[in-house]
Amino acid sequence: MKTDHLIIVAILIFIIILLLLLIKWNRKDQKEFIETMNKDIGKPENHPKDKI
């Protein structure tokens, strides 16, 4: 019974660490995606002004 509790605790700790790493990697990927999208947008085209 005691070993069962140790195994369950070890598995829970592993799952928690895995979730934290996945969240960290996701935030990094999201930040890189946002930076890439901002670079791709660029400046708007210049149009000559219409004089009325």
In the chain (52 residues long), the average pLDDT of successive 10-residue segments reads 86 96 85 78 63 62
DSSP state of 47: -
Tokens of 19: 């979730």
- pLDDT value of position 34: 81
Tokens of 23: 């969240």
Q: How far apart are CA 28 and CA 32, in angstroms?
A: 6
Query: Residue for token digits 């195994």?
Result: 7
pTM for the model = 0.56
- Residue 36: phi and psi, rounded to 5, are -65, -40
CA angle 19, 20, 25 (to 5 degrees): 95
